[in-house]
Amino acid sequence: MRNREEALRRAKELVGKMTLEEKAEQLRYDAPAIPRLGVPAYNWWNEGLHGVARAGVATVFPQAIGTAAAFDTDLVGKIADVIAVEGRAKYNAYSAEEDRDIYKGLTFWSPNVNIFRDPRWGRGHETFGEDPYLTGELGQAFVKGLQGDGEYLKAAACAKHFAVHSGPEALRHHFDAKASAKDMRETYLPAFEKLVKDADVEAVMGAYNRTNGEPCCGSKTLMVDILRGEWGFKGHFVSDCWAIRDFHTNHMVTDTVEESAALALKNGCDVNCGNTYIHMMKAYEQGLVTEEDITLAAERLFTTRFLLGLFDETEYDKIGYDKIECAEHIALADRATAESVVLLKNNGILPLKKEGLKAVGVIGPNANSRAALIGNYHGTSSRYITVLEGIQDKIGDDVRVYYSEGCHLFQDRVEHLGYRQDRISEAVAVAKNSDVVILVVGLDETLEGEEGDTGNSYASGDKVDLLLPEVQRELLEAVVKVGKPVILLNMTGSAMDLRYAEENCAAVVQAWYPGARGGRVIADILMGEISPSGKLPVTFYRDTEELPDFEDYSMKGRTYRYFEGEVLYPFGYGLSYGSAKVAEAKAVAVDATLKVVATVQNTGDMDIEEVVQVYVKADSADATPNARLAGFARVAVKAGQSVAVEVPMDKDALTVINDAGEKISGGNSYTVSVGFGQPDDRTAALTGQKAVILKVTK
């Protein structure tokens, strides 16, 4: 049933038997049953960002930004396949009990392929980072893994939030994101285009905000002209939740709820997450929509249901409940955690050696936090392993492990009746009695997340700056002052101002939100059983002073492609415990793009994984100010050996986008760099290596 024409034929036949009212009701996210036609109820709303979410136990993988740090399309595809398998297992079990509730269907509203353009955005950790090419490649792998290659769709993926959406959360219901034609085609649209044209994504979700004056869930430009017209999208379109209501209550582009329903439907929004489409029949009675409009949307929705095999026997019907959080899936989650962790600084203290260690201090509000493991849009794990628990289990009884929470995540005391910073003296005592301190700081979904889903009411889920909460900064300084070596482990979904740690700590590790059992793998990394291999999918700036206003959607001065100051840690950067180099590389033009082959040599005594990164800079006035990522490949290299690797390249590597938003040739001359990071001075200073620079002419 991957034959869309046949699925559409069956959809037309079924919808043709419905009354107008029945068809209109099917456009709700909680579509009711039609018993006389054998149509069961179906809830379109399910989440699968990094594991099946909100419907009980499931394998909980690292948050999306963490898997982005792995720079590994194979990994992302496998994670998405697990989500589809566990989603099918749940669907089979729940539907057998006639449970058609929310979060129990097979239409997953993932992945989020918005560009993480500003580090203050609270939902950035749901994305694959700040780069359009990386986002597109990982997003494509996710969609293909989720939807599978069987006779039917294993599950239906949804590219969100179309198209120019990345905060501020507090303004999203009435904000107009203004983006130039160049920024649209160079930054905000490419990942969506790839998922539609190359991955055949089944659904697209609109954003809350307006883009260049039009509400995204009712935009003729985005939905009609570009998505369905230019790109040929054949699937269904879903509104973000209660976004259509914003048309008349916040954006003020319509006057009534019926007009809002009509604007969305006329421009191709097939299913409404919210309650605006409850008024669709009134819109019909007022002449704002036609029966043909309603029928078309219903046919698209039932086409998806037929593609999923929801009215047939399929190869997925026998996927059993035993697949949920099985050993194989947990092992994949461990692999994802291992590949995601980014080593930002190491003065040689890592990996830790048990020999000579008598006591290790584990301190910090995220050291024993389950919330810091899971990010947002998460499922439930049957077991959680925090960083503290992972270290305790790893070190065993040979070395004493002291623990102190140190401080609350953000409030000024842990105990309500205690003094301010009532845990800091305990933290100092732990540090004084330890040979080395592992200080675990950061945020969780209560401080960075989605507006309405977070406890950070002051910024609606966004960050006001890049600083750790004040109580954590005070804790860091107090522990450092003791004089023992400090390993800072930062658990956040976004870039933070880590300048103090860079200057004063022996090592700095970015662990993201590493998954339900992430503490186990983090302990393996700290103790040297695994060499860190993650690379930053976002830029870590020194602060926000050099960044444009949060509300400014121009890319000038943003992300590694456009930022012209000195950063703390660059996009693409990450250290390992080993020693490797790109011994040689060559780049040749093939047809309209590039082919790059490199030799990676492991000159150290530890088996490692590295990420070969290729950046391209065209000799063109239309090129981005800095070289842009155009290819990457993860490679495993055993100690003392060399491996040849062919790096898949962006098919548009030799093109640029002009001010009119047109894709044109970048000219005849290109600078191509091949290395383990960007070809910038800061990366060279931090790694002690320079990228191999190649000149390519067409």
Residues with a catalytic annotation lie at: 240, 448
* SS3 state at 692: strand
* SS3 state at 95: helix
Q: Which amino acid is at 503?
A: E
Q: How far apart are CA 40 and CA 35, in angstroms?
A: 7
Q: Which residue has the tokens 């002690």?
A: 688
Q: How far apart are CA 661 and CA 681, in angstroms?
A: 30
* SS3 state at 515: coil
Do 575 and 347 meet the contact criterion of CB atoms below 8 Å apart?
no
Query: HSE on the CB side for 405, CA within 13 Å?
Result: 16
Q: How far apart are CA 109 and CA 156, in angstroms?
A: 8
Q: How far apart are CA 466 and CA 342, in angstroms?
A: 18
Under DSSP, the state recorded for 296 is: H
Q: How far apart are CA 688 and CA 672, in angstroms?
A: 19
Do 409 and 365 meet the contact criterion of CB atoms below 8 Å apart?
yes
Do 461 and 172 meet the contact criterion of CB atoms below 8 Å apart?
no
Residues ≥6 apart with Cβ < 8 Å to 630: 133, 594, 614, 615, 616, 649, 650, 653
Q: How far apart are CA 137 and CA 134, in angstroms?
A: 5
Strand ranges of the sheet holding 608-618, from the earlier edge strand across to the other edge: 628-637, 608-618, 669-675, 692-697
Do 430 and 354 meet the contact criterion of CB atoms below 8 Å apart?
no
Q: Per the structure block, which two tokens stand in for 493? A: 């979904």
Ramachandran region, residue 325 (left: φ > 0; alpha: ψ -120 to 50; beta: rest): left
Q: How far apart are CA 165 and CA 239, in angstroms?
A: 14
Do 188 and 163 meet the contact criterion of CB atoms below 8 Å apart?
yes
Q: How far apart are CA 516 and CA 472, in angstroms?
A: 23
Q: Which amino acid is at 370?
A: R
Closest CA to 374 of 443, 450, 461, 473: 443
Residues ≥6 apart with Cβ < 8 Å to 343: 350, 507, 508, 509, 532, 534, 574, 575, 576, 577
Angle between helix 4-15 and 291-307 (nearest 10):
130
Give, in order, the Cα–Cα distances in Å from 446 to each of 47, 410, 451. 19, 10, 10
